[in-house]
Each structure stands twice: as C-alpha cells, then as structure tokens.
C-alpha cells in the first residue's frame, strides 16, 4: 500500500532491510535488532488497528523507560496515529487535562498508573481503551483494560490501513505547564531540519557506536535527540530505566557508550559522587548537555575526560543553539536557518551584553502550534518572533548566554531579580550542591527573596555564612531574606526544579529569616 512515510519509519525500514540482525536497542540485559524492532512495531500497530484505532486518532503513552514505549510510539507513526507521551509523574486534574485535551482514545500504560486512570475514568471524555503492560493476578481484576501481551501476539506483518490522507502528526508533546495547564505542541515543520542534523553531527557518533540516555522517553530530549537521533545516525541506543548517579558510569562502561545526554542538574549530581580510580575508564567522547552550570563545566570535563557540547532547544518550537567549541557557559550560536535575538518587553532588539527575552524565527514562518489554542499560538509568535520565555544575552561574537526563566524573576524593592543569577552565585560555594531561588509575598508588597539550599555531602553551613557569602557576590536587593536547608529540591522527571511547589510551600517554621535575625540583634 503506497503511503507517505515519516523519517523514523523510513530509517527503521531501511536498517531492517539492509542490516536486519544488527543491534539497535540495549535495555538492561536485553538486545533488540533492527528487524526485531520493526517486527515489534508492526505487532503493536496491528493490535491497535484491531481495537478500532485509526489514522488521526490520538494514543497516549504513560510508561517508564522500556522497549514497549518505543514499539508503541513508532507503531503509531506507522499507521498515521498521533502518539501522546505523558509525564509519569502526572496525577489528578493534570493527567485528566492531558487525556481530554489530546482527545486520546487509548492509553498504553503500566499497573502502577492504572489506579489513577480508573479513578477518573468517568471524567475522561474520549478514552475507550486502557492497554496495560505487565498484567499480573493483582491487576487482572481491573476492568476496562487490554493486556499489552495480547497486543504483542498480533502478526509482525505490514499493517493494512489507509494512511494516505494527510492531517495526522507523529507526536503531540506537552509542555511542563509552569504558567498554566500543559500545552500540547504540534510540529508543523517538515522532517528535514538542517539544525537538528547539525546537532546530531556535533555528537560525533559513528554508525554502530552506542549512545546512552537515562532521561525519560516522555521528554523530547530522550525521544527526539537520543532515540530518533540514534536511528538517523545508524547508531545503537542504550536506554536506562531511570537516572542513577551511582550506576551511571558503570552503565556507560557496560554498554561501551561513546556519547550521553544530560540536563544541567545531572552534572552537579554526578560530580557529587565520590571520585573513583576508574572515572576516566570509559569510551565516552561527547556529552550533549542542556544547561551545564558554568562553574562545573571544566571540572566535569577534567574529572571524566569528556567534551561537553552545550545546546539550547525547546519542545515549543524547533529553533536550536549549539556550542561545540567549548565556550564555557554559553548556549552557543544558531543552527540552520533560524535567526535568534534578545528583545525587550516591546520586542525591540537589545544591544549585545544586555539581558532580555530570547526570541527566534524561521524564514518560512512559525513551525509549531499549540493544540487547540490559536490565541496562545498567536501570542507566542507575535511580531514575527517565537517568544521562548527565557532570559538571555548575546555577546559581540554572537554567543548566547542563559539568564533564567522570565516568569521566575523576582520583583523586590522595585527591582527585577533573576532567580538564575542568585542560584548561579550560590552554587559556586564549595559547600552548596544546588539551590533554588524564588519570590514569596512581602508584607510591604512585591516579593521577598527565599532560597532553598541542598548542601554537598558531609558538609555544614551556617545561615550567617550564606549571607556573608552573598554580601560579597550580589546586589543588596538580591540577597535572600529567607533561607532553608533541604535534603532535596522538588523536580520534574526531567530534573527541572519545580518552582511552583516551592512557592506554594513558602516560608516554614524551619525557615531562617535574616531580617528578623538582624532586628533582634
């Protein structure tokens, strides 16, 4: 049956045809060849068709990292169905929003998440099928579900379905929803993207070599950069079930990986691990990083004997920055045909070394839209620029530097303060592993600055030492009034700090109040 094929399907079929027995996926102690991968995708595709799922339908996937996630996602692309990856941490109204907003007719999931789904099933307007992996006797009594094992019993043959009618998209990825309900992002661009190709080439991965990721597949980094990237590069993909700092480099050695991906917070966590004699005993050459702390960049490279390649990208739109020249602290320069700039609140382009909002545009116009949100799409692309909501500055050489989220800024005494700036300074302290700065209500109006701090292992720090350190490093209005030492910071599955959780928690009885301490002296 003649039909249009996306880039994933084209490459998977090509690999299965030319090198059927070569290994693509490594997961725990399992190995899957290109042919087995395509066969498994065919099985799932045919199982979905048997359930009555058709092109342009939406199927949600709420799974931890596992091969079945990939079979399901790719199977959807094979039959013109839109895959909707869901953050496994979502619960209650947010999970309900994902499923109702996407109009998912089915969800592929695991027993741990089944109670949350069944508890809201009457509120799910479009959901008809719950497909569950790892069915056991304990879960077998749940109603309204289909065993994933049954799906995998369908034949590994070409799906017989007409997908010639355009209109479906291969995936609907949702933003984190830090400023409101999560927004589904629909990619309207073509598969060919010179920026994405340049990013993949910067990894330096050769055919047959292994890429490694411990990031969740429901996130664009693991799904698009690692999984799709390994397919395009004819490389192997080693997939970890989850991120483990203590096992991380052992995994790299086990799988003989030459490249891995990290988000900024993971750099600090890996550096926290006790030094080992075999820290450099691996074959990794390149670390693709998003948000590497500038003060830990060279330390990480020197300790582990790797090269950090920094990049900037977002789910909302496909513009990319790349720094493959070792410019410490920089996100890099634009890739492909995208134009990047820094603007003020009126979208006036700012001069070099001035902090403003990072914006970019494609010569062919907007490349994405927000699902069922035309006004939000129009606002994000106002005045011809896609507005990232990130603060940045550009130097005279055209390198961009990150300065935090625009909506995470704090307003105190008439001054706007970047949470990122406070955190960057605090994180340079030898006793501080990581920190989060945020605004809490002030009795004078506007905000007071509060910070939550995670200390390095086996270290101590007094509140007054934090203040003394800040006195020498930051403007007076940015010095925190409230300080609290915590064991860990609340984070998303992609290791991003959940500022809203911290704001809602606010000042506690255990929180140090610098103003009151001074007043009592």
**DSSP labels for 284-348?**
--EEEEES--HHHHHHHHHHHT-EEEEEEEETTEEEEEEE-S--TTEEEEE-TT-EEEEE-TT-P
Mean pLDDT of 378-389: 96
pLDDT of 191: 37
DSSP label at 32?
E
pLDDT of residue 91: 83
Mean pLDDT, the chain, whole residue set: 90
Tokens of 275: 């030094």
Of the options 1.10.1060.10, 3.30.300.30, 3.10.20.600, 3.40.50.720, the CATH number for the domain spanning 409-520: 3.30.300.30
The answer to whether 264 and 51 are in contact (CB under 8 A) is no
Question: In the 3-class helix/strand/coil scheme, how is 93-107 assigned residue by residue?
Answer: HHHHHHHHHHCEEEE
Taking the C-alpha atoms of 315, 321, 322 and 323 in order, what is their torsion angle to the nearest 10 degrees? -120
CATH fold for the domain made of 7-174:
Rossmann fold (3.40.50)
Whether the per-residue pLDDT at 476 is higher than 90: the answer is no
Amino acid 417: pLDDT: 81
Max CA distance (Å), the chain? 82
Residue 342 to residue 262: CA distance in whole angstroms = 26
The answer on pLDDT for 111 being more than 70 is: yes
- Going by pLDDT thresholds of 50, 70 and 90, the confidence category of residue 461 is very high
Q: What is the mean pLDDT of residues 40-60?
A: 97
Cα–Cα distances (Å) from 78 to 163, 294, 371, in that order, read: 9, 42, 22
* Local confidence band at 192 (pLDDT 50, 70, 90 cut-offs): very low
pLDDT of 143: 56
CA angle 229, 231, 234 (to 5 degrees): 105
Residue, of 12 and 422, whose pLDDT is higher: 12
pLDDT higher than 90, residue 255: yes
- Which residues make up the CATH 3.40.50.980 domain(s) of the chain? 7-174
Structure tokens at 230: 């390994």
Region(s) of the chain under CATH 3.40.50.12780: 194-405
More confident call, 444 vs 214: 214
Lowest mean pLDDT among 10-14, 26-30, 151-155, 163-167: 163-167
In sequence order, which ranges of 79-133 are alpha helices (DSSP H)?
Answer: 92-102, 114-119
- The first and second tokens of residue 166, run together, are 């355009």
Residue 412 pLDDT grade (very low, low, confident, very high; cuts 50, 70, 90): confident
Q: Does domain 194-405 have CATH number 3.40.50.12780?
A: yes
Q: What share of the chain is helix, strand, coil (3-state, %, to 5)?
A: 30, 25, 40
pTM: 0.85
**Does position 108 have pLDDT exceeding 80, yes or no?**
yes
Instruction: Say what the pLDDT of residue 297 is.
Output: 96
What is the pLDDT at residue 168?
A: 55
- CB neighbour burial string for 389-411, b if at least 16 within 10 angstroms, e if fewer: bbbbbbeeeebbbbbbbbebbbe
Q: How far apart are CA 335 and CA 494, in angstroms?
A: 24
* pLDDT at residue 162, rounded to an integer: 83
Instruction: Give mean pLDDT, residues 343-357.
Output: 96
CATH 3.30.300.30 in the chain: give the residue spans: 409-520
Question: Residue 302 and residue 296: Cα distance in Å, rounded?
Answer: 10
Quick one: pLDDT at residue 414?
A: 65
Q: Over 60: is that where the pLDDT of 208 sits?
A: yes
Provide the pLDDT confidence category of residue 60 given band limits of 50, 70 and 90: very high
Residue 346 CA to residue 385 CA, distance in Å, equals 12
Would you say residue 151 has pLDDT above 50?
yes
Query: Tell me, what's the pLDDT at 483?
Result: 97
pLDDT digits (tens, 9 = 90+) for 417-453: 878 878 988 998 999 999 999 999 887 667 899 999 9
- Residue 333: both structure tokens together: 């320069």
Does 6 or 224 have the greater pLDDT score?
224
CA atoms of 263 and 269, how far apart (whole Å) = 11
Query: How far from each other are the two terminal CA atoms of the chain, in whole angstroms?
Result: 82
Q: Going by C-beta distance under 8 Å and a sequence separation of 6 or more, which residues neighbour residue 336?
A: 193, 194, 195, 196, 198, 320
* Torsions phi, psi for 23 (to 5 deg): -80, 135
Give the tens place of pLDDT for each residue, 121-144: 889 999 999 999 998 755 555 555
């Amino acid at each position: 049956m003649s039909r249009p094929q996306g880039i994933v399907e084209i490459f998977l079929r090509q690999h299965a045809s030319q090198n059927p027995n070569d290994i693509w996926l490594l997961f725990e102690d399992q190995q899957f060849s290109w042919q087995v991968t395509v066969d498994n995708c065919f099985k799932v595709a045919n199982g979905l068709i048997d359930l009555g799922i058709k092109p342009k339908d939406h199927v949600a996937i709420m799974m931890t990292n596992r091969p079945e996630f990939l079979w399901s996602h790719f199977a959807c692309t094979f039959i013109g169905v839109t895959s909707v990856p869901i953050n496994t941490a979502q619960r209650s109204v947010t999970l309900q929003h994902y499923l109702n907003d996407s109009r998912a007719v089915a969800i592929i999931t695991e027993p741990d998440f089944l109670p949350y789904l069944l508890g809201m099933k009457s509120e799910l307007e479009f959901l008809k099928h719950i497909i569950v992996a790892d069915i056991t006797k304990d879960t077998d009594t749940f109603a309204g579900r289909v065993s994933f094992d049954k799906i995998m019993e369908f034949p590994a043959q070409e799906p017989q379905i007409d997908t010639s009618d355009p209109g479906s998209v291969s995936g609907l990825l949702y933003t984190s929803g830090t400023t409101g309900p999560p927004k589904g992002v629909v990619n309207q661009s073509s598969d060919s993207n010179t920026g994405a190709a340049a990013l993949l080439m910067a990894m330096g991965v050769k055919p047959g070599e292994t890429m490694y990721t411990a990031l969740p597949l429901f996130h664009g980094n693991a799904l698009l950069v690692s999984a799709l990237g390994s397919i395009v590069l004819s490389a192997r993909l080693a997939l970890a079930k989850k991120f483990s700092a203590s096992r991380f480099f052992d995994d790299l050695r086990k799988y003989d990986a030459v490249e891995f991906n990290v988000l900024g917070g993971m750099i600090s966590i890996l550096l926290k691990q006790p030094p080992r004699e075999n820290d450099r005993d691996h074959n990794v050459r390149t670390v693709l990083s998003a948000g590497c702390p500038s003060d830990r960049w060279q330390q990480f490279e020197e300790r582990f004997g790797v090269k950090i390649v920094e990049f900037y990208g977002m789910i909302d739109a496909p513009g990319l920055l790349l720094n493959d020249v070792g410019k410490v602290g920089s996100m890099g320069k634009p890739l492909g045909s995208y134009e990047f700039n820094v603007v003020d609140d009126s979208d006036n382009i700012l001069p070099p070394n001035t902090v403003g909002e990072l914006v970019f545009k494609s010569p062919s116009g907007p490349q994405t839209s927000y699902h069922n949100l035309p006004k939000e799409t129009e606002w994000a692309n106002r005045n011809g620029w896609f507005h990232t909501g990130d603060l940045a500055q550009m130097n005279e050489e055209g390198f961009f530097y990150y300065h935090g989220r625009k909506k995470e800024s704090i307003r105190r005494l008439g001054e706007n303060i970047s949470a990122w700036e406070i955190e960057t300074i605090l994180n340079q302290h030898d006793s501080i592993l990581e920190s989060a700065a945020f605004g809490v209500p002030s009795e004078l109006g506007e905000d007071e600055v509060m910070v939550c701090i995670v200390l390095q292992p086996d270290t101590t720090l007094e509140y007054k030492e934090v203040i003394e350190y800040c006195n020498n490093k930051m403007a007076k209005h940015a010095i925190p009034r409230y300080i609290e030492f915590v064991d860990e910071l609340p984070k998303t599955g992609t290791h991003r700090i959940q500022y809203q959780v911290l704001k809602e928690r606010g000042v506690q009885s255990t929180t140090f109040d610098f103003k009151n301490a001074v007043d009592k002296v």
